[in-house]
């Protein structure tokens, strides 16, 4: 086992928007920081984000405001957002985007006259974008470039198998794993910025790395998690054929923002009469309407008609979508794009305050893995890149503020306990069948049985670590989904189709002494439930 001969002040796990923003800020604050990733710095999920960053940008056209952005976020969140967190995070948006620009990010339209578009649930044009539909790629390019040019300490190709804690329960380091063996890195603080859990499902818009690692690490470290049942499905992933598995190319909502229309397989509009905002209703509403229409027409996809834009404009404004369509022989300028909902975003996660502190001393979380209270039961489109920028920075500042130069005796050795591991393929199939859009108690019980059909395995490879993480993440999501006997936001129950006032609260999940996810009372940390 390699034991690194160094104890860092902060180990950041994950190198997407939140992780790299945090690592860069921590280095600026003089902390000794290392960013750890199981693949390469550029290979995260951030690069897949298309639409943009939702931010109230000063300057013309007038009419938008942080209050209006807050109102849209609260509506999309279906009663479960924490308004204080929403306001704090959204108000910090312009400064966070300016910071990104200082690192070299280039947005469409330039700075003074930045282009703004709309996405689902936004009543104003406030989504800024880069490279047409390549906003995540531009953010990743910018932050990875800054990290490399500032010679930030980067540990690539290292999976984290455990957050190590000392005998007082405080974070003391990380257990690492690569194809060659295990290692231990001492760290006074750990920030989880590992993204989401799209790979829990058979079809997802997420990169292969999105395997719920951070959620599993936090649960095992004793952290409180909440809102796990709210897994957002993007309404329009490119349809690749019946039963298509793995990563599905995204067809950004911004295309609907530019006037594209959802039609069913017979050519009838999907969103007419469903919601006042039509095709730009919040994402849970659109994904639910598509799912119902697919069932009614006996198909597994619908159509997105963007032909009014024409091929040349689509290639210019949406080059990523255009290329994905072309790769499957679709010319979106001449014919409608076949689309279907796919797992996209984990709205809940590790409970943090608005500075990224979790319930475990020395453990912080930011970005998709965290539950700040911004998203509630359904994330407003393009609020996530903004949250990653704001919360990455804040978490680094919280680590610096909390920092005590106490003697650090070095981390304990990893536990090496075997962990329950379910079959990944069966897990993904059953989560898609029973824990997607339209759940019921029998289906959730069936999925729980698959997640519970485990063998105990020593974690020897990064793939083992992912499998164990997926198994635990599935069990935690299913526990929360089974408990919430109502429909709200992304959690649509066919056996409980309405919202119930008594469920207007978060469900929290922790691990019991046997390592099983159980429901807990949400606790207040730093004023955030
Ligand atoms: C999209 O471009 O439609 C995705 C943006 C998001 O998930 O917020």
CATH of the domain at 284: 3.90.700.10
Please tell me which residue in 188, 283, 315, 393 is annotated as part of the active site: 283
Domain end call among 341, 365, 394? 341
Same-domain pairing of 270 and 163: no
pLDDT for res 112: 78
Cα–Cα nearest to 362, from 398, 319, 410: 398
Q: How many residues does the chain have?
A: 529
Which residue among 198, 250, 280, 345 is best mutated to probe the pocket of ligand 1, counting the most ligand atoms within 8 A of its Cβ? Answer: 250
Residue 460 Cα to ligand 1 midpoint, Å, equals: 36
Q: Which residue has the tokens 């999105």?
A: 210
pLDDT for res 524: 54
Q: Strand pairing partners for 338?
A: 303
- What is the number of the ligand 1 atom nearest to the C-alpha of 379? 8
For 153-188, write each residue's pLDDT tens digit.
999 999 999 999 999 999 999 999 998 889 999 999
Domain end call among 341, 373, 397? 341
Same-domain pairing of 410 and 522: yes
- What is the number of the ligand 1 atom nearest to the C-alpha of 380? 8
Specify burial of residue 433 (Cβ count, 10 A radius: 0-12, 13-18, 19+): middle
pLDDT for res 405: 66
pLDDT for res 490: 97
Which structural domain range is residue 173 located in?
Answer: 1-230+347-529
Ligand 1 contact, 51 CB (< 6 A): yes
pLDDT for res 57: 86
Residue 512 exposure: Cα atoms within 13 Å on the Cβ side? 8
What is the Cα 110 distance to its own chain's centre?
A: 28
d(CA 319, CA 325): 10
Catalytic residue check, 283: yes
pLDDT for res 497: 97
Q: Strand pairing partners for 238?
A: 339
pLDDT for res 523: 59
Count of the separate structural domains present in the chain: 2
Cα–Cα nearest to 403, from 185, 192, 171: 171
pLDDT for res 529: 46
Cα–Cα nearest to 213, from 198, 234, 231, 203: 198
Stretches where the chain sits below pLDDT 50 are 526-529
Q: Which residue has the tokens 């489109």?
A: 381
DSSP 246-309: EE--B--THHHHTT-EEE-TTS-BSSTTT-TTGGGS-HHHHHHHHHHHHHHHT-S-EEEE-GGG
Residue 49 Cα to ligand 1 midpoint, Å, equals: 6
Residue 58 Cα to ligand 1 midpoint, Å, equals: 22
Domain harbouring 45, CATH code? 3.50.50.60
Ligand 1 contact, 50 CB (< 6 A): yes
């Amino acid at each position: 086992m390699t034991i690194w001969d160094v104890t860092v002040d902060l180990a950041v796990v994950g190198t997407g928007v939140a992780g790299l923003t945090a690592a860069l800020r921590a280095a600026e604050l003089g902390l000794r920081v290392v960013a750890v990733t199981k693949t390469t710095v550029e290979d995260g999920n951030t690069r897949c984000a298309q639409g943009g960053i939702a931010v109230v940008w000063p300057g013309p056209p007038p009419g938008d405001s942080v209050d209006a952005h807050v109102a849209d976020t609260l509506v999309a969140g279906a009663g479960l957002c924490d308004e204080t967190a929403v306001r704090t995070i959204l108000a910090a948006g312009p400064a966070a985007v300016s910071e990104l620009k200082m690192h070299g990010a280039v947005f469409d339209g330039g700075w003074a006259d930045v282009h703004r578009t709309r996405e689902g649930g936004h009543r104003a044009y406030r989504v800024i974008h880069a490279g047409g539909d390549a906003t995540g790629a531009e953010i990743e390019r910018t932050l990875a470039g800054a990290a490399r040019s500032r010679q930030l300490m980067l540990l690539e190709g290292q999976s984290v198998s455990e957050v190590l804690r000392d005998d007082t329960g405080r974070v003391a380091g990380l257990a690492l794993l690569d194809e060659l063996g295990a290692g231990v890195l001492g760290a006074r603080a750990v920030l989880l910025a590992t993204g989401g859990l799209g790979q829990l499902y058979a079809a997802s818009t997420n990169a292969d790395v999105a395997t719920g690692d951070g959620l599993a690490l936090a649960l095992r470290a004793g952290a409180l998690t909440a809102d796990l049942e709210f897994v957002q499905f993007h309404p329009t992933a490119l349809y690749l054929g019946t039963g298509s598995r793995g990563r599905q190319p995204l067809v950004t909502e911004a295309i609907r923002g530019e006037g594209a229309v959802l039609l069913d397989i017979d050519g009838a509009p999907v969103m007419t009469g469903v919601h006042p905002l039509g095709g730009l209703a919040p994402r849970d509403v659109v994904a639910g309407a598509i799912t119902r229409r697919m069932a009614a027409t006996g198909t597994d996809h619908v159509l997105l008609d963007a032909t009014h834009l024409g091929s040349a404009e689509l290639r210019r404004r949406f080059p990523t979508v255009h290329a994905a369509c072309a790769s499957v022989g679709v010319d979106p300028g001449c014919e409608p794009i076949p689309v279907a909902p796919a797992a996209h975003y984990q709205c809940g996660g590790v409970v943090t305050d608005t500075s990224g502190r979790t319930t475990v001393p020395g453990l912080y979380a930011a970005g998709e893995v965290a539950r700040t209270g911004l998203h509630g039961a359904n994330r407003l489109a393009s609020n996530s890149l903004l949250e990653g920028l704001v919360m990455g920075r804040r978490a680094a500042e919280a680590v610096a503020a909390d920092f005590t130069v106490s003697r650090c005796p070095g981390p304990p050795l990893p536990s090496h306990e075997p962990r329950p591991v379910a079959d990944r393929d069966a897990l993904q199939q059953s989560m898609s069948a029973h824990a997607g859009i339209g759940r019921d108690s029998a289906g959730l019980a069936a999925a729980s049985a698959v997640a519970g059909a485990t063998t105990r395995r020593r974690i020897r490879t990064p793939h083992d670590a992912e499998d164990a993480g997926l198994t635990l993440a599935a069990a935690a999501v299913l526990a929360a989904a089974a408990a919430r006997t109502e429909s709200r936001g992304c959690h649509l129950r066919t056996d409980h189709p309405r919202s119930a006032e008594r469920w207007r609260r978060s469900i929290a999940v922790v691990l019991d002494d046997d390592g099983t996810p159980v429901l807990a009372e949400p606790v207040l940390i730093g004023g955030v439930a």
